[in-house]
Structure 1
C-alpha cells in the first residue's frame, strides 16, 4: 500500500465511515482511497468547522469523529476545535500531512511549512504522533483509536510526513485493539456502598463521563431515591421528566442549597469545573464520593472523602449490586425539583418563548447544538428539556464561539432521522456562517435559530456590570435571512412563537435560518 491507502485502510478497519475536512495539495494522495473504502468525505468551508462538526458527530454517535486536513494553515485552522474537544473530553482524531521525513530542522520555505506543526497540535490535544515510515501508519492509527477509547476520551493528532503518502510498502491494516476496562477496587465500592446506605439525604451530580451509562445511573438513583443534578455535558442522561431529575446546570443558587442539604453527594464523571459553576464552587457539608475514570480528576476542584477510579458504567453497576432499595423520598425530590426548576425559569425568563418553541418541535429524541450565546447558557441549558445523553451539545470548558452550526451538521450526519436544531447568537454565527453552505450542499433539514441582540451581549453586560465604558461590542445587523438564502438555505424572520417555524424547518428540503430579533440587549 501507499501511505495514503494505509491511512484510509486503517480508518476503515476501525469502523470509520465519515471524515470531515478540506483537501489540499499535500493531502491528495489520501483522497483516491476514501471511496475505495466507502468512507464519506464531508466538505466543510473551513477546517475549524470540520473540527466542530466531528465533535458533534462524536458526541451524538458515541464513536470518534475524524478530521482530515492538509498541512500547515489547514491543521492550524482546526486548533480551536481540537482544544474544545480536549476541554469537553470528546474523542476526535485529527489527521494531517506534515513536512517530509528529512525536512531541514530550520526549514527551507516548502509550501505550508510550519516551524513545529506537531508541537502545536500536541499543545491542544492528548498527544500528537509523527510517524516515520509507511509501515508505521496502520500501527499509529490503531494506537490512536486505542487511546481514544481508553480512559478519559480526548482528541489525538496524527502527523504524516507528506513524502510517505505516495510511497509504497508491504503493509496491511491493523485490527482494532480490544481494551479491557479495569474493574473498580472492591474495598472502595464496599466503603462507598456503606456510606450511601446510611445516607438520609443523598444527592447525585453527573457529568459527561456518564453519557454511556444512562441505564446504570437510573438503576442506582432509583435504589437510593437520590435526586440528580447534571452538569452541562451531563444534560439528559437522566431524562428531564424522571421524578428524581433536577435538570441541568450547576451554577444556580438553588443547586448550591441542594448540595449543602445533602448528607452524602455522589459525583460521577464530572470535573465540578468553574466553567459549570458560574458563581463559585459548591460547598459539601456532608460526605463527598467521587467516581471518575481519570485519577487526577478525582482531586481537582473538590477533595472527596472517598474516591473510586473506574469507568462510570462499571462503578454504578457494582454499587447497585451492593445496595438495597431505600424507602421513597418523593416529597423531598419533588420539593427540590420545584425549587430548582422555578429558579431556572425565572433566570431564563427572557428566552423562555424561544426555548419552549424549540422543545415543542423536537420532542423527546431531539438534539440541540448550542453556541456560546446568552440564549443558550442562560436560557436553554436549564430550561430546554433533555431526554437522552448527548441531547445538548455545548462548548463548555473552552467556551469557543462558532460551535453550534457545524456541531449540528455533525450531529445530523451521525443520526439522520433525529431532529437536530442549532442555536446561535448573531456574533457567534459569524464565526462559522460559511457552514450554512455546507449544510445546504448536504441538503440537511436543519433549523438554525439565530437570536440577534445586535452584538456580543454577554460582554456588553459584563462591561456595564463593571461600570466600564460599554464599547467594542455592538454589531450592525445584517439581513440574516437574505444571507442564508444566498448560501442556499431558506431564511425567515420570526415574529412570535417559533415552534411552528422550527417544525416546518425540520421537514424542509434544506437548512432554514430562523432570525429572532432580541432587542433586550
Structure 2
C-alpha cells in the first residue's frame, strides 16, 4: 500500500514576535530590485508563484517566453546589449534543466546571467519521496554549466546571495550564477531587514610595471597587430585609438565583431579561422590581444605559433597562461587598462604608424588571400548578405545561430560597426539562439532595429518563441536560410565519404507557421525580394519570418 505525500504548504509561516517581516519570495524580489533589475524572463510554475507575486510591486517587468531555454537566451541577449545582468526565473526540476543549455552558452561567452529558481524544501530528505519536480540535486546539475550554483538555507541569506552574485558580475569575469531558494523558504516569513547590496567596484587596472613593459614593446613594434574579443566591447574607443596610433591592423573574434568598424582601413574583420590571417598573425612582431581566449572556438583550429611578443589584456588572470600564454600579462578591465596603456605610450608611437600607405597595401593583399578562402563556402550567400546590409540601419542588432548562413556567411561577410551589434553563440555552440535572443534584444531596446538570422534546423529548436514575438507586437524580422536540414553536419558526413543520415528534415512551410502563430511570413527567392521583405518587416508590428531557400548539398 502506498501513502500520499502532501505538497508543502504555500501559506506564509509567521516569524516569532510582532516585528515587521517579509516572505522569502518578497525578500528575493526586493534584493533584485535593489540591484537595479527592472526586467526578468521566465515562466511561472507551481513552486515559484511567491516570486511572481511581488515582481510588479517592485518595478520588475516579466516577459514569458514559451520555453525556459528561450528565456535563458533572451536574458543572455538582454545582458549583452545593456551591459547589465540578465535575469531568468524558472520553477523546479525540468524547468531548471530546460534553461541549462542557455546557462552553458552564457558561461562560454562570459555573459552575466542570473538564474533564480526554487528548490526542494529546506529539510527535504536525501531519499526520493515523490514530490513534484523532485530531482537529486539541482545545484549539482547547474554547477556543471554555471560559475556558481548556490542554495540558500534561510530567508536572511537570500539578500546576501543576490549581493554576492552581483559582486561576482562586477569584479570577475562575468559568468552565469544560479541561486536556489527552497520552496518552503519562499513563503516563510523572516525579519524585514534592510536590503544588502553589492558594494560599488572600480575597474581593475593592470600592474604598472607590466604596463610600462607593454608600452615599450608597442613603441618598438615594426609589425604590430591587435586581436579583439568580446571582453574588449567596453573599450571600443581605446581599441580604435591604439590601432590608429600604431598603424596596427585589427582582427576580431565573433564576439568582438564590430568593436572597430569592419569598414575601417585597418580592419580585417572576423577571419582568425583563415590560413592566410593565421599565417600573417604568426609573422607579427607584437600582438595585442584584448578580451579574447584565443581558443579553438575563435580560431577553428589549434592556436597558431607566434613569432612575436604577445601582450594579453584580460580581466581573468587564468587567460594569461591558457591557449597562447602571454609574454606580457595585463590583468584588468579592458577600458581602464587600455587607457593606462595609451598614457604610457604617450611619449612616442610605433614605427608601424610611420608608413600607413605600406600597411594599407599589405592589408589589401591580405584581404585578397582571405577572401579567396572564405568566398567559396559563402558564394551563394554573398548577394543576400549585401542586400541585408544595404537595407539595415547602422545601429541594427543582429542575432545569429550556429548555422552555415551565419558562421560562413554573416560573421565574416556582413560588416558591422560600433553603433551596431552582432550577437552570436560561440564556444558552447547551442542551436536555437537567434530568435529568443532577438526577443531579449528587442525587450532591452524596443526602438532599435533587431534582426534574427538562422537556419531552418536551428530555428526549430526554439521556433515556438514566434508566439512570444507576436505577443510583443514589435517589428522583428527573422531571416531563415533553409537548406532542408542540418547542412553543416550533412557536409561533414559527405566530406568523410559517409552517406548522410538523420540530417535531412521534412520540409516545413515556415512562413505559414509564422502566420499560424499570428505573425507574418514570406518567401524571398532573390536578394531583391529579401531586401523588399526586410524593409516591410522593419515597419510591421510583430515578427515577420522570411525564408530564403538554399539548395542542399548532396
TM-score of Structure 1 vs Structure 2, range by shorter chain: over 0.9
- SS of the residue corresponding to residue 299 of structure 2 reads coil
Give the TM-score of the pair, scaled to structure 2.
0.92
Is 1:77 the equivalent of 2:109?
no
Name 2:540's counterpart in structure 1. 508
Q: Can you list the C-alpha shifts for 1:222-252, whole angstroms capped at 9, x where unaligned?
A: 2111010000100011111222111113101
**Residue 346 of structure 1: how far off its partner (Å):** 4.8
Task: For residue 484 of structure 1, report the CA deviation from its aligned partner.
Answer: 0.5
Work out which of the residue numbers 61, 66, 75 in structure 2 matches 1:54.
Answer: 75
**2: CA distance between counterparts of 1:363 and 1:335?**
31
Describe how 1:77-96 pairs up with structure 2 within 5 A. 77-96=98-117
Structure 1 match to 2:153 = 132
How many Å separate the matches in 1 of 2:499 and 2:526?
Answer: 34
| Residue pair 1:350, 1:379 contacting (<8 A) in 2 also | no
Q: How many residues of Structure 1 are paired with residues of Structure 2 in the alignment?
A: 521
3-state SS of paired residue (2:194): coil
Select between 8-17 and 340-349 the one with higher mean Cα deviation. 340-349
Does residue 1:469 correspond to 2:499, yes or no?
yes
- Give the superposition deviation at 1:501: 1.1
In structure 2, distance between residues paired with 1:139 and 1:413: 28
Any idea what SS the aligned residue of 2:37 has?
Answer: coil
Q: Take 1:338 and 1:349, find their aligned partners in 2: how far apart are those partners?
A: 20
Deviations 1:86-119 (A, max 9, x none): 0111110000000111111223111111100011
| Alignment map for 1:346-425 (pairs within 5 Å) | 346-388=376-418, 391-425=421-455
- Secondary structure of 2:189's aligned partner: coil
Find out whether 1:9 has 2:30 as its counterpart: yes
CA deviations on 1:441-486 (whole Å, 9 max, x unpaired) are: 1112100011110111000100111112222110011111110100
Aligned to 2:362: 335
Stretches of structure 2 lacking an aligned partner (at least 5 in a row): 1-21
Aligned counterpart, 1:441 = 471
CA 1:58–1:500: 2 relative to 1, 3 Å = same
CA contact (8 A) 2:394 2:419 kept: no
Residues 155-189 of structure 1, C-alpha deviations (whole Å, 9 max, x = no match): 00000000011111123322332123332111111
Structure exhibiting the larger radius of gyration computed from Cα positions = 2
- Is 1:270–1:292's contact at 8 Å kept on the other side of the alignment? yes
Q: Which moved more, 1:79-88 or 1:167-176?
A: 167-176
Partner of 1:277: 299
Residues 252-289 of structure 1, C-alpha deviation per residue, up to 9 Å, x if partnerless? 12211320231111111110110121244222122211
Aligned counterpart, 2:282? 260
Please name the residue that 1:178 is paired with: 200
Normalising by the residue count of structure 1, what TM-score does the alignment of the two structures yield? 0.97
- Aligned partners of 1:91 and 1:477: how far apart in 2? 37
Say yes or no: does 1:455 pair with 2:485.
Answer: yes
Q: Which moved more, 1:218-227 or 1:394-403?
A: 218-227
Q: Which runs of 5+ in 1 are unaligned?
A: none
Moved more, 362-371 or 321-330: 321-330
From 105, 127, 137, the equivalent of 2:126 is 105
